[in-house]
Structure 1
């Protein structure tokens, strides 16, 4: 079916399971050299634990706090009433009523971000795929978060014979969670990256670059992914 419908298939050099990506997927990549991360053992689980504890966990915690901060507020509404109400400069009498409003809809019950086995999950449901490539002097870790996706596209995937214990026999629609369903009150998917940047700034100096500069890093023969493939760090 994938071939029949002309779906582009890419082989991820870092391995991992098959994932479906589109314009609603959020991609992150960390490239680290061992001497920059002496506190992070060069093993998949240890790298994932570092990203969960230092980067992604704090980002999701802050997003939850941002949602919960949109609490209902009490306001006073003045409505026409009898002369025993509040007199105004117009000579008209009003009575007051306290009403409760909120700037956004009430947030849903927010599931906790966790690293379960080798997956990032919210409330026991997976929110993306990740993989690592580890070489002698460094490692690469990337994640595709599911901000949203077309439910029909998930039919391209079959239930893998080897799957994490916490998944059980759940189908893809029961196993996966769309971040948009939880965090859309904060804005679009760019809000995710804003919180991710804020958590990253606790450990790194963040320098924005243009798309042209980013592509140069990827394509240059002196570094980036070209260097990763050819020299393995």
Structure 2
């Protein structure tokens, strides 16, 4: 009797759904899941708990943020564990974080450029019907307007690709950020209000948007499995490097 060839199992991504979750806690949880947990994860936080400025691990606050304005507005500054630029997030930001094992994506080189290109393909079904969707440098854009900023952290066996999606944005919050000396070429020196667009003007609901991301993850070759915050937080108890911190 000839044995039937076994089907290759699809890798599983655990889904952790959050809403209004404090950003510092989210970033520390992501870092723990990257460094001290063996599973694939997708964390989606539907709105940060409060306006917060987040800098990349090498970002210099005095060069990137109007510190006095941030202090006046009571907006905290966090330095995250990943690279990338500076963003301000709030309740109108949808935060999407993929934490994946390199072995489950053997065709993707573990460098920022190839990961960014892979993510563009991943998200294409979510956004391509809205217009000319592209990844440009570290951003997602429709035409010449940015609606998502990205950053990565890469270890030997895993990587993080996280995105802040602008469901809507408050211009007065954006005033806290300085125009960075190093800008994407396509920005052409534009102020934030002339450089950004809101997804709420283009998509029906936040819930439908989040579900479309889950569908895209499944279409990219993963099975998805709902997980609890308690399960994810076990990683916080394990030994790992902790580089996410509050600056102000």
TM over 0.5: yes
Please give the alpha-carbon distance, in whole angstroms, between the structure 1 residues aligned to 2:125 and 2:240: 31
**1:140-198 C-alpha deviation (Å, 9 max, x unpaired):** 11111111121210111111111011111111011011111111xx2x21111111111
Q: Which runs of 5+ in 2 are unaligned?
A: 1-68, 244-248
Aligned to 2:198: 178
Aligned to 2:85: 17
Please give the alpha-carbon distance, in whole angstroms, between the structure 1 residues aligned to 2:131 and 2:171: 21
Please give the alpha-carbon distance, in whole angstroms, between the structure 1 residues aligned to 2:206 and 2:240: 31
Equivalent position to 1:129, from 145, 149, 165: 149
TM-score by length of 2: 0.65
Q: Which runs of 5+ in 1 are unaligned?
A: 65-109
Residues 97 and 160, structure 2, Cα contact 8 Å, conserved in 1 = yes
User: Which SS does the other structure have where 1:201 is aligned?
Assistant: helix
**1:5-29 C-alpha deviation (Å, 9 max, x unpaired):** 2111111110221101011111111
Instruction: State how many pairs are aligned.
Output: 174
Please give the alpha-carbon distance, in whole angstroms, between the structure 2 residues aligned to 1:229 and 1:42: 21
Aligned to 1:151: 171
Aligned to 1:189: 206
**1:52-109 C-alpha deviation (Å, 9 max, x unpaired):** 11x2111223xx3xxxxxxxxxxxxxxxxxxxxxxxxxxxxxxxxxxxxxxxxxxxxx
Shift of 1:111: 2.2
Residues 133 and 141, structure 2, Cα contact 8 Å, conserved in 1 = yes
Please give the alpha-carbon distance, in whole angstroms, between the structure 1 residues aligned to 2:125 and 2:112: 20
Q: Point out which structure has higher relative CO (alpha carbons under 8 A, 6+ apart).
A: 2
Return closer, same or farther for 1:16/1:117 CA change in 2, 3 Å cut-off: closer
User: Which SS does the other structure have where 1:10 is aligned?
Assistant: strand
Residues 93 and 166, structure 2, Cα contact 8 Å, conserved in 1 = yes
Aligned to 1:6: 74
**1:116-158 C-alpha deviation (Å, 9 max, x unpaired):** 2232111111112111111222221111111112121011111
Please give the alpha-carbon distance, in whole angstroms, between the structure 2 residues aligned to 1:19 and 1:150: 13
Matched, 1:34 2:51: no
Please give the alpha-carbon distance, in whole angstroms, between the structure 2 residues aligned to 1:50 and 1:217: 29
RMSD: 1.8
Structure ID, larger Rg? 1
Aligned to 2:61: none
Residues 84 and 138, structure 2, Cα contact 8 Å, conserved in 1 = no
Aligned to 1:52: 120
Matched, 1:166 2:186: yes
Residues 83 and 152, structure 2, Cα contact 8 Å, conserved in 1 = yes
Shift of 1:217: 4.8
